[in-house]
Structure 1
């Protein structure tokens, strides 16, 4: 193979339209632009979302929603999910390895939902008051 023999795959590139070359071409006279109107003229341009002077949709519709950067990397975990894990020490790394939280997670909040049947040590994770009581009742501890 030589650099001068390289060609694109067959059918991957179509030839450009040659407009305004007579009626037989199918793109003569108006050149595929239709009749009259702003789009038919050279320099006929309007910005994206422009509705001819009518208030555009993106300005008519009210602004809704807010995504806090603080809570974006925070995951919520429940007590019954810890039961399925076989680790005795629960921290952010073991939760990521178990697939209970995503890789981008920076903070985990443990809430009191379900029950805990074994003693575990929770380290470096925010634990609600109810969850802390449940962990200590099961013989575990919160660090």
Structure 2
């Protein structure tokens, strides 16, 4: 199984698991619709052991989101925003080459720290950079669209 960071695994569902996730996710979503402020109590049975668990609302929302993604056959990983990524993991998340990411890190566009000769990139900072970069791309496209309209270019 591929590793994301800090030992966290990327989970890719089989077709059977995706089907079960869709079914369970739909049931959990209906519970969430009825009362989003309260936690949920669930009964877990494994073999001859049965236990009742109380889940806080935030955990229920997280579980429902994970089940929805798994139900669509998507891979899922749970990682803390305080996690640090290697430069390769960060490059993969941004869908850029590692040398390009290193250039961004050296320019200070994305904060990082060095552990020996290796760079570590805080996930929260990387996600903030990604969101800002996407917003700037959309603004540039909107500006280009407005210019083409003004010039009557027919786009």
Say yes or no: TM over 0.5. Answer: no
TM-score, with length taken from structure 1: 0.22
Q: Which has the higher contact order (CA 8 A, sep 6+)?
A: 2
Larger Rg: 1
> TM-score under structure 2 normalisation?
0.21
Greater helix proportion: 2
